[in-house]
Chains A and B, each alone.
Chain A
């Protein structure tokens, strides 16, 4: 069996941009007021009445080649088990190099701790019977798929194999593990 690699795929066909994911993340992870680990964007293209709208629930891309990891001077930002990009609070000095390096704007300094904060794929829930993220659980449109993409029997591997998907800023060369299903 190949190594575990956690990934997320969000279905833009069914996502309505309600932001329940933002709320669930906020309360699950006790995220500080005024900042969010998850956010939703809407992009309207075209001229009335020939229009298209793309809605994306965005967060840390847990990149395979994560610029935040390579730029971190103290090793606080690192690749944890399952490929999840994590910040070790004890080692973080709040220098903000990772914030500057992240092409996705996924990071912020938590004013309570002075350290960098971002999505962890709810790693603290990895020991639940079934490892799900809070945003995935809450989603009323069931648009969020999460799991081990290296396990061919997983839901995430199946949707990535059967559905057309894209990643954000592929030109940044980061190999995101956050996918969007068309």
Chain B
């Protein structure tokens, strides 16, 4: 890195005033009618990386008088490039959220009712250890499960590995990116991973299938997306909604929800028929081209038209656009891909399109990531007890699932639901299960069946209100975590370090895992004193200077070839060793070896109902950020997008607050304002996920907007890998005056029970 930048960053360390004092040529200090200096420059600037979402951008935290005053992008960091998204810039809103969990809490019985009592860490962790050990003795270690999300979860994952439970799940798989990863693995022998290996910046034609980059604010992706727009890249957007990305598109295709695969099959048909595929690339690397050619013959644009609503001429024009820019055409794999239960096959279609265009391994397509490989910590061998996760009814179900299904672990907790040994206790780290899993009724059922539930979190989310022990974690700005060295274009290592000491009695995840590990009699797996010592032990053998890493936040590794054309080796870890257009593995497991249209895959909404679509807003991450004072200023609520014609039919006015009621009669507890818009098809409505908290301890988030997860009472499970397709729910509108007095029954339990995280307030007054 350039020396000049180094001086600039470290000069904050000796104080902005010294720097300013030295420069007398400018006008600010000489100017008499002065504007006050807001004084937010830190006297210390600490580099770390963000956890406002899971992208992990490098930030520089300004600290003054012991407070974090502001967060800026770390220009050395390859992911952020010195820029941040709104969440990253608003991290102090989480750090200084007055609603934060402050002390460990233990659920106790008092005069017949349950309440939380503040406790010391030692006694809270003793309760956890006693319960875990008791369950282990009676049912084995596998009867204790972990749900985790976020980078700090790695400490809990380690604890559970040492403990010996295979039941470790994250909703980020079967409730999010699972189908994509399985589909790309089947096709190319590698997943897309995170950060995605998309070379958006160099793309000449970007195709988004429902991805709403710009509203979905993964920093690097959006930075590259806009760089590509500046370079004049073509953009094709398939989305029932006129997203921000759609507004930037060369062609917006307002596709009928659930019919994306039909458009893609027709694209394949045109690309193959018009000889626009990369024949040389396919000859060298692909398996099954002839079968695919035969397979897509019936899928003409004319065939696709009535199924998708996209005119044949538009399908041809966009296919040609994609073909003209190949191999620098990127059909983006997306991230949240659990939509309709046929998601692995839809993602296979995306993978195959990229293969036909020759974009995997090519500039402007999907590059071959390179990383600094950090050796693992040398622990004693983990005991392999040959235990399998309890997440599947039988081993033959979801045969290609390669991670544990979170909803399966939940189901395995409900007595008699699955034919598996019952799970008796959960640790939940950083994921608010009633909102991150679909079918909240199932989640509550499982919670009621648990012998013990411990939650590690920063905020009093709904799940904490159901817990027996609540452990307050320090925020990412108050803790050190594992070093991070992702596969990316530029190999590098970055560290998360304590910017300010943990507030209140919160503790970092590594400390919680270690203390609990010691109490669970697993000292051999926690030989390090703290996370910094652990990180140094791992990084030192690489020859990097840890002091430099701490001071600068990032060290760069040596750049390696990331495209085939510059020497990256074409290797495909599939069974044939080739790109599999035709998948033998799928055929053997009884699935379509090539993506196939099945008319009954996607159901139409009943009359008067509209498909519930949900997505992201740039200032929010799931349900974690809707209590953030700063972020609420620009994202105060999640409006319900309703097509203008539909709004007219219902007499809905823009801004009017309404409830949504779904096909199973579930009525949203809260309301959202209607957004009457031309920017959505008439057969669906859209809103942003993560609102509608019913935990009263989240003072800002409570009662704000509808909670889409509450209305996702139905899922369609992907038979290939167990992803829970969630865009299969239909809703209708209900004015507050028309809500039956007793309703909504489903929600009221949750309301009462999740209002309890407070030492002095009765907890779980609802029967547990």
B20 at the interface (CB under 8 A from A): yes
A27 touching B89, Cβ below 8 Å: yes
Residues of A within 8 A of B8 (CB): 129
Residues of B within 8 A of A127 (CB): 19-20, 23, 26, 28-29
Task: Pick the contact of A44: B38, B70, B227, B242 (CB < 8 A).
Answer: B242
A29 at the interface (CB under 8 A from B): yes
* Contact A26-B630, Cβ < 8 Å, known A14-B229, A20-B86, A124-B37: yes
Segment 1-60 of A: residues with Cβ below 8 Å from B? 13-14, 16-20, 22-24, 26-30, 33-34, 36, 39-40, 44, 46-49, 51-53, 55
How many B residues are at the interface, by size bracket? Answer: 35 or more
A66 at the interface (CB under 8 A from B): no
B101 to chain A, nearest CB (A): 22
A29 touching B38, Cβ below 8 Å: yes
Residues of A within 8 A of B245 (CB): 16
Task: Pick the contact of A28: B19, B31, B40 (CB < 8 A).
Answer: B40
B37 touching A23, Cβ below 8 Å: no
Interface centre among A27, A29, A82 (most CB of B within 10 A): A27
Residues of A within 8 A of B643 (CB): 48
A23 touching B86, Cβ below 8 Å: yes
A89 at the interface (CB under 8 A from B): yes
Interface pick from A100-108, A137-145, A150-158, A164-172: A137-145
B587 to chain A, nearest CB (A): 39
* Contact A30-B39, Cβ < 8 Å, known A18-B618, A19-B635: yes
B244 at the interface (CB under 8 A from A): yes
Interface centre among A26, A29, A143 (most CB of B within 10 A): A26
B253 to chain A, nearest CB (A): 9
B73 touching A138, Cβ below 8 Å: yes
Assembled-state Cα–Cα distance A28/B90 (Å): 11
A173 to chain B, nearest CB (A): 25
B267 to chain A, nearest CB (A): 19
Assembled-state Cα–Cα distance A28/B35 (Å): 14
Task: Pick the contact of B677: A19, A44, A80 (CB < 8 A).
Answer: A44
A78 touching B39, Cβ below 8 Å: no
Task: Pick the contact of A49: B31, B92, B252 (CB < 8 A).
Answer: B252
B290 at the interface (CB under 8 A from A): no
Task: Pick the contact of B69: A20, A27, A86, A140 (CB < 8 A).
Answer: A27
B630 touching A51, Cβ below 8 Å: no
Assembled-state Cα–Cα distance A70/B229 (Å): 41
Segment 664-695 of B: residues with Cβ below 8 Å from A? 677-681
A93 at the interface (CB under 8 A from B): no
B27 touching A30, Cβ below 8 Å: no
Interface centre among A39, A82, A139 (most CB of B within 10 A): A139
Q: List 11 A-B contacts (CB under 8 A).
A: A16-B214, A16-B226, A16-B245, A24-B72, A26-B630, A27-B70, A29-B38, A36-B634, A40-B634, A53-B247, A137-B82
Segment 337-382 of B: residues with Cβ below 8 Å from A? none
Assembled-state Cα–Cα distance A141/B618 (Å): 13
Assembled-state Cα–Cα distance A143/B226 (Å): 9
A65 to chain B, nearest CB (A): 19
A49 touching B254, Cβ below 8 Å: yes
A19 touching B634, Cβ below 8 Å: yes
B33 at the interface (CB under 8 A from A): yes
* Contact A46-B678, Cβ < 8 Å, known A33-B629, A127-B29, A140-B222: yes
B321 at the interface (CB under 8 A from A): no
* Contact A29-B40, Cβ < 8 Å, known A24-B89, A123-B28, A124-B35: yes
